[in-house]
Amino acid sequence: VRVLWTRHSSYLVPVPSNVLRLSLRMEEQQLVNLELLCQQLYESTDVNTRNEAEKALMGFTESPDSLPQCQIVLERSQSPYALLLAASTLTKLVTCSTSNLSLHDRLQLRNYCLQYLGNRLRLAPFVTQALVQLVARITKHGWFDLDKKFVFRDILDEVGKFLRGSVDHCVIGVQLLHQVVMEMNIAESMKSLAKHRKVATSFRDECLFDLFNLSLSLLRQINVADKSQLTLISWLIKLACACLSFDFIGTSTDESADDLTTVQIPTLWRSSFLRSNTTQLFFDLFHSLPSEQAAMCITFLIQMASVRRSLFTNTERHNFLSQIVKGVRSILETPQELSDPQCYHEFCRLLMRLKSNYQLGELMKVEDYPQLVELVAKLTVSSLQSWQFSANSIHYLLGFWRRLVASVPYITSGDSHLLNTYVPEITKAYVNSRLDSVELTIRDNMENQLEDSVMVAQQLDQLAVIGRCEYSKTCQLLLNVFDQTAASFQDLLLQGPTQELAIRECQLSWLVYIIGSVLGGKASYSEGDDYDVLDGQLVCRVLQLMALTDTHLPQHGSEFLDLAFLYFFEQFRIVYIGDVIQRTSQVYQTLSKQLGLNDESMILNLFITKIVTNLKYWSSNRTITLKTLQLFNDLAVGYSSVRKLVRLESVQFILEHHTPENFPFLSITHSVMDPKCRTSFYSAISRLLLVELGEDEERFERFISPLTVCVQHLETMMTAKQAVNQDEIKRTLISLCRDLRGIVLAFNGKICYMMIFEWIYPRFTTIMLEALGIWFHDPQVTTPLFKLMAELVVNRSQRLQFDVTSPNGVLLFREASKTIACYGERILAINDIPPHQLYNMKLKGISLCFNMLKAALSGNYVNFGVFRLYNDDALDKALKTFVKLLISIPLKSLLDYPKISQAYYGLLEVLTQDHMDFISSLEPEVFIYILSSISEGLSALVPIVCTGCCCTLDHILTYLFKKLTKSKAASTTSSMSPSHSTPFLRIVELRPDILQQMLSSLMNIVMFENCRHQWSMSRPLLGLILLNEEYFQELRERYVQMQPPEKQPAMAVCFGNLMNSIERNLLPRNRDNFTKNLSVFRRDINSSLKDLTLVPTVPSGNNAEMMV
């Protein structure tokens, strides 16, 4: 083969002769076309143009000659977008598990990219980043590639050439190191989590500490006054942060939960953290650098403050904390340095992380603690007053104070924490700032903060604890402000809607929210009756305001205010309504004196009145309707409160008059057609009905009569000869399904379930089946219909215990079977479903059918042998439809959508447990598909999927083991060899590699991964070993031989102990013994491999591809 060599300084990049031909074919015009397509892809604002460009470029990115073509583009193109496409394509090529790139190819490609970066320092930033990522990806995937030495571990030496060059070269070098650290910390680029953790662990132990020290050393040497080196400083700080943000122990923490993160620094790193100059270095850099780099310094300090406590002794921890507090104080004393929003935000995060990792008692022992608390209090008050500047940072400041206040009960009474001095000022500043912000937002037509429900909820959670510090001062403040604002509101209410009225409404909304918050804070404190009196006064103010606003609802209402009332009611319910609440609370005494509300029943009546009022006047507001129904549901759950509710006239009215005339949101033409509304409402009133229903069928008929009328109307429309409004039929059907599902959800007793079942079957089930045949393609119809049927067949609380003379169990399963078969037959006839509609139009309905079939098969209310005995094909139809639906789903789609994967694996577990005869009779391609899906599911991160696959595989192996055992026993007593009649047994005989692959995968998981489901995996593992004894011995020898010579005897002993006292059967006792042995085996293996850096032999490619 002729080879053209392109010389690049110290690197020689081989270009085969076919590349030369390609380069000749890629004429200048073709390159121009490629550049134009790239420009359209990345710059065009037209969606169709971008889609067309993407399709056209697919041929380039997926070409078998993509490697040489990308090199040609990198050499000849001047378009940054074309260069980005080439770099991205190469990264995809390197990452792909089916790529045929050799070790030599990847090494040459890495060297080429390094030389390319070194020669072209003026590339567009995104091109440089793409090439840097390519180098990092090659390094990670080749970390354990061996050719006399680990060839890709010399990346530090290669990058060292950049660090010895110009400033621009140093920037590229540090950027490369930063990207390598980031790449090593990301698991997504590798299919095997075990290999990722091995690579990350090896990199952590060999390189990470050196990189961390390198970044610190260069930062100490650099001249911060030199503006030309700011970019280099930025990348050095990023590198140091990346080192501290590394997932040291494989916990994969949630980055959004930044208040709970602990940096698990290895003990060997202690020296860098005991030196005070490390912390002081970044505080000095913060004071010296521009705001962008200063913010990065604080980000680094956040990680420093999060270092695990056990890294230090008590004295060392005190000294380390003193250094950080001293530095924080120095920043607080020069607040002008926090004028940049990003610096300010990061500093607020630092404060909260400081308290998250250290106790209040430890902070109080620091010399600078009094000054720290005083300065942070001033900062907090100033921030609250300047709420526009610090809107996103207030959460962290409030979190800091919340944690301080929550720690007060653990402080000795003699110690002075100073919180009683400063916290009331913060509470006052928060209240006043919320009221002041309202006027500005409304007058200047700005975004109202009350519209951000997430932000409001977060702040109220913090305030619930903060407000309880010096609670008497908090209550007095709220009472004074509330009385003044409410009086002004009452006067303005008589004048009609004005801007001033809107301001007072929003201010009162904030006050009601805050009152509800501090009221809910009582749940965390055990306080005396004096505070209950204060709570009672606050509650009276809110209830009086609600009575005033409700009288004006027909003319004028405030969404913000009514949402605040609902929040207040929820907090009051949690604290003062329930089975364990003392009825002698001073709150009730105060309510009795001022409002005449003498007991809990009267309070509950007030709740229900407000709920009915909201559902009547706010039915067009989705948010208020949902929150109102949520409160209604919460009230309908308590044992004692629900019995008091049933006695109320308002509740009896709801039970007998749940019609669109009284509750407009129940109308099929209403604008709020949220499925949660109807189902939630009927679930709540059904629970109330059950309290006194018993066997009273007449009362049930009165309750269900509004729905009976709807069914009659629906029957009339569907049987009418003349043309009817199809949309009206659909809306009526959807509404009925949602309403009935709410009722069935609540009817968990045998007697009440029979009432609703006899009402639904056969009248409404016939309508459902007919509608499914018409609108099978419409998920708006099929989803509520399937959910209702799935709920009907669920044997919750053993409610489906039919009498011995009743055929209802068989009839119910027949209806489920008809539903599944009807849908399956029609949906499979639809071809060419657009990819973006695949889930809604097909996969969602299939997942609901799987859930329905699982519930029906596992309910234990049907003897399925009866169907075959009497030639009833209901069971066969359901199972065959399941198979047809299953094979119509690509395996990738099955795993990509969590809902359908969980439904499928749950159903498969039931089928393999009770219907293995059916599974064993499936066609070979179907059975291989199922085994492939099980193999993929064994390594799933979702626990229910992984454990379900283990159980499923265990059922299959147990069935197979029994069949083969009987077959062998029969062959010893007969001269004729037994015939394996089932396709299942023939597949196992012809394709033993399927089970062998699973055995290898499970052994890798147990030995080398963080096996969270060890017990579940032990069950199928024993069956796999017994069915593949020879292969297990080969696997055993392979694992032993891959260890260093000094480790091999220990590994052999571990495997010997694994099968110690294990018999050749799958009886429960033998399984338990193997589970115990496996636990010891895993512990010993982990101990033996602690110092190893070798990776287990992981088969290339995915398991599904190897089985097909």
**What pLDDT, in 10s, does the model give residues 121-146?**
889 999 999 999 999 999 999 888 87
For residues 943-955, average pLDDT: 91
Q: CA 284 to CA 323: how far, in whole Å?
A: 12
The distance from CA 326 to its chain's CA centroid, rounded to whole angstroms, is 38
Task: Categorize the per-residue pLDDT at 1089 as very low, low, confident or very high, splitting at 50, 70 and 90.
Answer: low
**Do 810 and 869 touch, CB atoms closer than 8 A?**
no
The confidence score (pLDDT) of residue 718 equals 87
pLDDT for 181-233, tens place per residue?
A: 999 988 776 666 767 888 888 899 889 999 999 999 999 999 888 888 999 99
Look at residue 315 and tell me whether its pLDDT is greater than 70: yes
Look at residue 976 and tell me whether its pLDDT is greater than 50: no
Look at residue 11 and tell me whether its pLDDT is greater than 60: no
pLDDT for 868-886, tens place per residue?
A: 899 999 999 999 999 999 9
The confidence score (pLDDT) of residue 399 equals 93
Residue 803, SS3? coil
The confidence score (pLDDT) of residue 710 equals 94
pLDDT for 591-619, tens place per residue?
A: 889 988 888 889 999 999 999 999 999 98
Residue 11, SS3? strand
Task: Categorize the per-residue pLDDT at 15 as very low, low, confident or very high, splitting at 50, 70 and 90.
Answer: very low
Q: CA 75 to CA 56: how far, in whole Å?
A: 22
- Could you tell me which residues come within 8 angstroms of residue 161 by beta carbon, excluding any fewer than 6 positions away? 118, 173
For residues 905-920, average pLDDT: 93
Task: Categorize the per-residue pLDDT at 172 as very low, low, confident or very high, splitting at 50, 70 and 90.
Answer: very high
State the chain's maximal CA–CA distance in angstroms.
105
Residue 16, SS3? strand
For the chain, percent of residues with pLDDT exceeding 70: 91
- Run of H or E including 818: helix 808-827
CA dihedral 104→105→107→113, nearest 10 degrees, is 160
> Among 256-270, 550-564, 862-876, where is mean pLDDT lowest?
256-270
Look at residue 20 and tell me whether its pLDDT is greater than 70: no
Cα 951 to Cα 4, 238, 769, 905, 1013, distances in angstroms: 57, 46, 34, 10, 11
Q: CA 418 to CA 776: how far, in whole Å?
A: 67
> Among 255-269, 697-711, 769-783, where is mean pLDDT lowest?
255-269
**Do 889 and 900 touch, CB atoms closer than 8 A?**
yes
The confidence score (pLDDT) of residue 526 equals 58
User: 498-534: b or e for each residue (b if 16 or more CB lie within 10 Å)?
Assistant: eebbbbbbbbbbbbbbbbbbbbbbbeeeeeeeebbeb
For residues 952-978, average pLDDT: 76
The amino acid at residue 30 is Q
Residue 4, SS3? strand
Q: CA 656 to CA 662: how far, in whole Å?
A: 11
The confidence score (pLDDT) of residue 444 equals 86
Which residue in this structure is represented by tokens 């199972």? 879
Look at residue 503 and tell me whether its pLDDT is greater than 80: yes
Look at residue 1093 and tell me whether its pLDDT is greater than 70: no
Mean pLDDT over each residue of the chain, to the nearest integer: 86
For residues 109-122, average pLDDT: 92
**Do 642 and 670 touch, CB atoms closer than 8 A?**
no
Task: Categorize the per-residue pLDDT at 581 as very low, low, confident or very high, splitting at 50, 70 and 90.
Answer: low
Phi first, then psi, for residue 3 (nearest 5°) are: -125, 130
What are residue 13's DSSP bridge partners?
Answer: 6
> Among 9-13, 736-740, 998-1002, where is mean pLDDT lowest?
9-13
Record the tokens describing residue 1066, joined without a space. Answer: 């799958």
Could you tell me if residue 470 is left (phi over 0), alpha (psi between -120 and 50 degrees) or otherwise beta?
left
Q: CA 209 to CA 243: how far, in whole Å?
A: 8
The confidence score (pLDDT) of residue 256 equals 46
Rg (CA), the chain: 35
The confidence score (pLDDT) of residue 252 equals 58
User: Which tops the pLDDT comparison, 383 or 410?
Assistant: 383
Q: CA 385 to CA 379: how far, in whole Å?
A: 10
Look at residue 1108 and tell me whether its pLDDT is greater than 60: no
Look at residue 28 and tell me whether its pLDDT is greater than 60: yes
Cα 936 to Cα 170, 195, 556, 838, 882, distances in angstroms: 44, 16, 58, 22, 20
Look at residue 10 and tell me whether its pLDDT is greater than 50: no
Range with top average pLDDT, 256-265, 483-492, 934-943, 957-966 = 483-492
Which residue in this structure is represented by tokens 């074309």? 82
Q: CA 746 to CA 710: how far, in whole Å?
A: 21
**Do 841 and 831 touch, CB atoms closer than 8 A?**
no
Look at residue 804 and tell me whether its pLDDT is greater than 90: no
Look at residue 1103 and tell me whether its pLDDT is greater than 90: no
Look at residue 255 and tell me whether its pLDDT is greater than 60: no
For residues 420-448, average pLDDT: 91
Look at residue 848 and tell me whether its pLDDT is greater than 70: yes
The confidence score (pLDDT) of residue 9 equals 34
Report DSSP letters for 581-648, one per residue.
S-TT-HHHHHHHHHH---SHHHHHHHHHHHHHHHHHHSTT-HHHHHHHHHHHHHHTT-HHHHHHHHTS
The confidence score (pLDDT) of residue 336 equals 87
Task: Categorize the per-residue pLDDT at 576 as very low, low, confident or very high, splitting at 50, 70 and 90.
Answer: confident
For residues 990-1011, average pLDDT: 83
The confidence score (pLDDT) of residue 413 equals 63
